[in-house]
C-alpha cells in the first residue's frame, strides 16, 4: 500500500527504481506483469476525465494513498466528488491536472482524444506514464471515428499517434466503473486487468499502481494489442489473470 507522507525525493527514487526494474520486467512478457517496481511510494496522479470511470479510478487511487487531481472543463462541478474523497483529492482544470501529475490517466470519450493530443501531447510526453482508459464506441463517438481507429490498427496505436512521445499504457478499458470499487482487493482471487504497452518503464509503473488498488495486471503485449482492450472483444468484461493469459495467447 502506498504511504501518504512521501516527498519529491521519494518520488524520484521510485521512478528511478521503476526504470531499473523495467529491464527485468520485460525479460519475458508473462513475468512483466508480476514485476513489483513502484509500490510503496505515492505518485501524483492527474486525471483527464473524472466522470463515471475516471471518478471511480481516482477514488481507488486516493484510497491507495496517492494524491490525485481530478479534472473537468468545469472543475467547480467536481466539488462533491472531491469533498467525499478526503485531503489527497483535489479538483482542477485539465491543464492543472496535467501539470500536477507524475502520471496522467486519460478517461474521456474517445472523440475527445484528438483535441487532447493537439493541446497537450507535448506536456503529456514529459510524464512518466500516461494510462489510456478511453475507448472508441460507435454509439457515442460515431461509426466514422471507430472505422478510422480500426484503420490505424486499433485504439492503442491510434492513441499513440495522437500523443507522440507519451509513455503510454492502455488499461482498465473494459472494466466498468461500478466494478472498480466492488472488485478491488476482493476476496477469492484478484480480478485481472489486461494491459498493453511498448514502454517498459511505463508498464512497470502502471503494473504497480494496478496492484496497489487491488487488481492483478496482465501484460498482453504491445500497443498494437490495445485493439483488444475495448468492450466487446474476448478480453472485455472481467476475467481472472489466468483466463486473461489464456485468451491473450489466442489473439493475433
Ligand X SMILES: NC(=O)c1ccc[n+]([C@@H]2O[C@H](COP(=O)([O-])OP(=O)(O)OC[C@H]3O[C@@H](n4cnc5c(N)ncnc54)[C@H](OP(=O)(O)O)[C@@H]3O)[C@@H](O)[C@H]2O)c1
**Residues in the site for ligand X, rule: CB under 6 A?**
48-54, 72-74, 94, 107-110, 112, 115-116, 133-135, 137, 172-173, 175-177
Residue (24 or 181) nearer to ligand X, CB: 181
Pairing of strands 68-71, 129-132: unpaired
Put the strands of the sheet holding 129-132 in their side by side order.
89-92, 68-71, 45-48, 103-106, 129-132, 168-170, 192-197, 216-221
Radius of gyration of the chain (CA): 17
Of 6 and 136, CB closest to ligand X: 136
> CB-wise, 19 or 121, nearer to ligand X?
121
Closest CA to 57 of 210, 197, 229, 240: 210
Residue nearest to ligand X (CB): 51
Residue with cell 487491488: 214
Shortest distance (Å) from residue 7 CB to ligand X? 30
Least gap, CB of 101 to ligand X (angstroms): 14
Calculate ∠ Cα 220-223-195, nearest 5°.
40
Q: Indicate the residue among 41 and 170 with the shorter CB distance to ligand X.
A: 170
Given the complex with ligand X, which of 58 and 67 has the nearer CB atom? 58
Minimum separation from the CB atom of position 77 to ligand X (A): 6
Smallest gap, in angstroms, from Cβ of residue 21 to ligand X? Answer: 28
Question: Residue written as cell 474523497?
Answer: 85
SS3 label, residue 61: helix
Task: Give the pairing of strands 192-197 and 168-170.
Answer: antiparallel
Instruction: State the nearest-atom distance from the C-beta of 196 to ligand X, in Å.
Output: 14
Cβ proximity to ligand X, 25 vs 98, nearer residue? 98
Which residues, in sequence order, are CB contacts of 241 under 8 Å at separation 6+? 33, 190, 192, 216, 218
The whole-angstrom separation of Cα 21 and Cα 35 is: 8
Max distance between CA atoms of the chain, in angstroms, equals: 47
Of 72 and 200, nearer to ligand X (C-beta) is 72
Closest distance of CB 157 from ligand X, Å: 16
Cβ burial, residue 48 (10 Å; 0-12/13-18/19+): buried
For residue 124, the minimal CB distance to ligand X (Å) is 12
Amino acid at each position: 500500500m502506498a504511504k501518504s507522507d512521501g516527498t519529491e525525493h521519494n518520488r524520484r527514487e521510485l521512478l528511478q527504481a521503476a526504470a531499473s526494474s523495467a529491464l527485468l520486467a520485460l525479460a519475458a512478457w508473462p513475468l512483466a506483469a508480476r514485476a513489483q517496481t513502484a509500490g510503496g511510494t505515492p505518485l501524483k496522479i492527474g486525471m483527464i476525465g473524472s466522470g463515471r470511470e475516471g471518478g471511480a479510478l481516482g477514488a481507488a487511487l486516493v484510497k491507495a494513498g496517492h494524491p490525485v487531481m481530478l479534472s473537468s472543463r468545469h472543475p467547480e462541478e467536481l466539488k462533491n466528488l472531491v469533498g467525499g474523497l478526503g485531503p489527497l483529492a483535489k479538483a482542477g482544470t485539465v491543464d492543472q491536472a496535467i501539470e500536477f501529475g507524475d502520471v496522467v490517466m486519460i478517461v474521456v470519450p474517445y472523440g475527445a482524444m484528438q483535441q487532447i493530443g493537439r493541446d497537450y501531447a507535448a506536456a503529456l510526453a514529459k510524464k512518466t506514464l500516461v494510462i489510456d482508459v478511453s475507448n472508441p464506441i460507435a454509439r457515442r463517438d460515431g461509426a466514422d471515428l471507430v472505422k478510422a481507429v480500426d484503420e490505424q490498427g486499433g485504439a492503442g496505436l491510434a492513441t499513440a499517434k495522437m500523443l507522440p512521445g507519451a509513455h503510454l499504457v492502455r488499461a482498465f478499458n473494459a472494466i466498468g466503473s461500478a466494478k472498480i470499487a466492488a472488485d478491488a482487493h476482493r476476496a477469492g482471487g484478484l480480478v485481472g486487468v489486461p494491459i498493453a504497452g511498448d514502454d517498459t518503464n511505463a508498464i512497470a509503473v502502471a503494473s504497480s499502481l494496478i496492484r496497489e488498488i487491488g487488481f492483478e495486471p496482465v501484460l498482453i503485449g504491445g500497443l498494437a494489442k490495445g485493439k483488444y482492450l475495448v468492450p466487446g472483444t474476448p478480453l472485455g468484461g472481467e476475467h481472472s489473470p489466468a483466463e486473461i493469459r489464456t485468451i491473450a495467447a489466442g489473439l493475433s
